[in-house]
Chain A
Amino acid sequence: MEHSKQTQYSSNEKKDGGSVLNGHFDGMVKRSAAAQPPGAESGSHRPVMESWREERTRSVEDNEMSLPCLAAAYTTILRGLGEDPQRQGLLKTPWRAATAMQFFTKGYQEKIIDVLNDAIFDEDHDEMVIVKDIDMFSMCEHHLVPIFGRVHIGYLPNKRVLGLSKLARIVEIYSRRLQVQERLTKQIAVAITEALQPTGVGVVIEATHMCMVMRGVQKMNSKTVTSTMLGVFREDPKTRDEFLTLIRS
C-alpha cells in the first residue's frame, strides 16, 4: 500500500505540474526514490532516506508470540545487573517490562491509512491551522531510554482539512517507535503532506532526552528542538514566522 501511495503521489505532481509542493520537497521525494544518498553507509541494507518511508507492520498476534522471548531477555538483564529475579518486587517484572516495551513501540503495529480513518474533509479553508502542545513520548533508538516533549503542527490546507485529533494520532504512530528526533519530525511532516497535499506543513518538536539527562553528559535542563518546514512554510519566511509566533504564545 505504501508503494502504491507513492506512485499515485508522483503521478499527481506530474499532472498539475507540482503546484502543490515546492521544488525542495519534490527534490526530496525524487532523491529518496532514486539513488542512494552520499551519507548512507554501505553496511545498511537500504538507503538512509528510504528507511523512514517504510511503515512496518507488527500484529497483536506477533506481540503475543514474542512476549515469552522478551520476558526471558529481561530476566537475563536483571540477572546480568546483579539483581535477584526471584525476589518479590521483581517476580513479574520481566513480563511487565516486556509488555511495557511493546506498548512503547506500538507504532510499528499501526499504519497511517488506518488511523486517518477517512477523516479528511473538503473545506474551502486556506488559512493556517495549528495544533500545538501535543505531548509526545518516544524511545531513543540508541540507548532505549525515553524521550518526551511536545509537538507543534501547523499546515495550510489546500481545499482539504484533516480531523484535528488525527494530527495527534499521526504523532502517536511515529513517536511510539525506536526513534531519532530528527527523523520523527520529518516523518510526521511527510505523513501529513502525503495525506492532505496541503500548501505547506510545519512541525516543531521540543523534547527532553533521558539519555542526556539521566546518564552520559547529565545535563538536566537541556532540551532539543527540531523542525521540518515544507511547502510555503519553507519558501515564505512570513508564513513560517506566523507559525513560529503562534506556537510560542
Chain B
Amino acid sequence: MNGHCNVNVNDTVEKFQCNNGFSDLSIDTKKSERDTSRKEDEDKSCLDLHVLEAAYTSILRELGEDTDRQGLLRTPLRAAKAMQFLTKGYHETISDILNDAIFDEDHNEMVIVKNIDMFSLCEHHLVPFFGKVHIGYIPNKNVVGLSKLARIVELFSRRLQVQERLTKQIAMGISEALRPKGVAVVIEATHMCMVMRGVQKINSRTVTSTMLGVYLEDPKTREEFLTLSQNP
C-alpha cells in the first residue's frame, strides 16, 4: 500500500470515529459483547418487536386512524418487522459478510461494480431514500468476491443514514478489509423526504462521492472511474 493511502485512511478513520458515534468499529464491539448468549439475543429481539408494535399502534391512533379496522389489524406488527428489516445492518459486521472471500490475485487494474441498487432510511425523517451505488477499487494483490461489494453496501445502507456518511462508510469498509491502492464510491439517490414532503421536488437527485488513495491523488484515475461508471 502506498504511503498516501495509509495516511489518508488513518486520518479519515480517526476523524470519522470522532464525528460519528455509530461507526462500524463500535458496532463490532457491541456485537461481540452480545455474542455471549444467542438466547438472550432472541429474547431481546422478541421484546423489541413488542415494544415497536406498541409504538406503531400508538402512532396509528394518534394519526386519527381506526386500529380495529380490517386493513390495520396487523399493521403494527408488519410495520415493526419491516422497520427491523430496514435497519438490519446494525446487527451485521464486515467480517461476517466478507466470509473470507478475499483472494490473492496479481491484478492491479481497476475493478468497478456499478448500478448496485441501494435502499436506506433517512435518519432525520425516517423516510426511505434509494438509488444506485458505483464502487471502484484498484487491488493491491488482494481481490474481493464481487458480490461482497454489494453486501457491504447492504450492511451500511440498511441503517438510519445520511447519504454522505453512507458513502464514506462503504469506502472505509472496503479500504480496511482489502488495503487496496485506492477506493472510489459514488452514490446517486432520490430522497423521499424531499420528494413526498417539504420542498416536494420530484426529479431531484443527490450525488455524493468518496475518493481514497490513488483516486484522491491522481485525477486521471478518478476520471477513468467516473467515465466507466457513468450510464449512457
Q: List chain A positions with a Cβ less than 8 A from chain B.
A: 40-41, 43-45, 48, 51, 56, 58, 62, 66, 69-70, 72-74, 76-84, 87-90, 92-93, 96-97, 100-105, 108, 135, 137, 141-146, 148, 178, 180, 210-211, 213-215, 220
Contact = CB atoms under 8 A, between A and B. Distances in A.
Most buried by A among B22, B52, B71, B195: B71
A78 B192 CA distance: 19
Interface of B: 21-22, 48, 51-52, 54-56, 58-60, 62-66, 68-75, 78-80, 82-87, 90-91, 117, 119, 123-128, 130, 160, 162, 192-193, 195-197, 202
Contacts of B117: 220
A210 to B, nearest CB: 6
Contacts of A104: 196-197
Given A105-B64, A220-B117, A142 B71 contact: yes
A100 B193 contact: yes
B78 A142 contact: yes
Given A100-B193, A142-B75, A58 B70 contact: no
Nearest to A86: B21
A73 B55 contact: yes
Contact of A135 (B65, B82, B202): B202
B22 A84 contact: yes
Nearest to A178: B65
Given A74-B126, A142-B71, 19 more contacts: A44-B70, A73-B62, A74-B55, A74-B59, A82-B87, A89-B123, A89-B160, A93-B126, A97-B127, A100-B125, A100-B197, A101-B59, A102-B63, A105-B64, A108-B64, A108-B65, A143-B79, A144-B75, A145-B79
A56 B51 CA distance: 28
Contacts of B59: 70, 73-74, 101, 144
A180 B160 contact: no
Contact of A77 (B73, B83, B127): B83
Contacts of B55: 73-74, 76-77, 80
A69 B58 CA distance: 8
B51 A144 contact: no
Contacts of A210: 119, 128
Contacts of B90: 81-83
B195 A144 contact: no
Given A73-B58, A220-B117, A145 B197 contact: no
B123 A211 contact: no
B63 A105 contact: yes
A137 B90 CA distance: 29
Given A44-B69, A81-B87, A70 B124 contact: no
B189 to A, nearest CB: 13
Contacts of B126: 74, 77, 93, 97, 100
Contacts of B51: 76, 79-80
7 contacts: A69-B58, A76-B51, A80-B48, A93-B160, A96-B125, A102-B63, A180-B71
